[in-house]
A and B are shown apart, each in its own frame.
Chain A
Amino acid sequence: MPIWLILALLIGTVAAIAIVIVAPGVTVSRAGKALAFLALFVFPLAVSFLGAAEHLDRSKQTKFCLSCHVMEPYGRSLYINDKTYVPAAHFQNNRIPRDHACYTCHTNYTIFGTVHDKLRGLKHAYKYYISKPANPIKLYEPFNNRECLHCHQGARSFEEGSTHSAFMDDIKANKMSCTTSGCHDQIHNAAHPDQLKYWSSQP
């Protein structure tokens, strides 16, 4: 929903509440009671819900993730000029939407995946602003093939690849990681960002 529409609804809600504040006597009538109920209960909850949805949508943006200082090297790694780096190759060739790059690969493609991600996001904010983030940053658990297969499963280039075909059952069962050494093992190189060449300027 456009932000201006949310703000317009919010202003309308504030105007309705202002009537109740300035003239609480209006709530004596049935219409006044309905106005108070809408202004003080229904509309605020609706506006708040829309605002939360907007914030959740924004939190999927690449620039949102990269707004924390510790994420800068990871954002920079998306511009590495080397196609063996999986995130960089995906980002630069539009295999993932650039404005949702982090979320697309690092979300959890399960029924409550987004909720799970947002709860982790709250933990990240706590660690960043109150506690201390890990250095270097690590995934909570090994990267699950499910996130790769969300897009690649069924794709001809993936299904017909000889290496993939040989290990297909193990790959789909997550017994053999896509990031296994010798396969797609060049991920973000955040430890030595200055030793690499980049495709273009920083994000």
Chain B
Amino acid sequence: MMSAQNPFVSRRLRLAGILVILGLLVQALTLLWNHPLAFMAFLGLGGLLLFVGIVVYLFTLISSPKA
């Protein structure tokens, strides 16, 4: 069971959340620009931040201490 009171879990959740939000914001900005570079930024920067954030979250789920 994941315990959010655990500082380790809280820190990881915050980190994952921040990374995912940054990724989503980058993707949102690229949607306002119709250009090949926007597509590259969507995939390369936004997608990467999102992917890392989700991986951090999933890693937190499987590595969090038992309650």
Contacts and interface: CB of A to CB of B under 8 A. Distances in A.
Interface residues of B, number: 36
Given A21-B18, A24-B14, A7 B28 contact: yes
Interface in B37-52: 37-40, 42-43, 46-47, 50
Q: Label chain A's interface by main secondary structure.
A: helix
Interface residues of A, number: 42
A21 B13 contact: yes
A122 B40 CA distance: 8
Interface in B17-50: 17-18, 20-21, 23-25, 27-28, 30-31, 34-40, 42-43, 46-47, 50
Contacts of B58: 41
Contact of B36 (A40, A52, A125): A125
Contact of B24 (A20, A21, A44): A44
B4 to A, nearest CB: 4
How would you classify the secondary structure of chain B's contact residues: helix, strand, loop or mixed?
helix
Contacts of B21: 14, 17-18, 21
Interface string A107-129: 00000000000000110110011
B31 A25 contact: no
A47 interface: yes
Given A40-B20, A54-B31, A59-B39, A28 B57 contact: no
Given A7-B31, A28-B3, A17 B36 contact: no
18 contacts: A17-B21, A21-B13, A24-B4, A40-B13, A40-B57, A44-B23, A44-B24, A44-B50, A45-B54, A47-B24, A48-B47, A48-B50, A51-B42, A54-B31, A55-B38, A68-B36, A122-B40, A124-B36
Given A10-B27, A20-B13, A44-B20, 6 more contacts: A3-B31, A14-B25, A40-B54, A51-B27, A55-B30, A58-B34
Interface of B: 2-5, 9-10, 13-14, 16-18, 20-21, 23-25, 27-28, 30-31, 34-40, 42-43, 46-47, 50, 53-54, 57-58
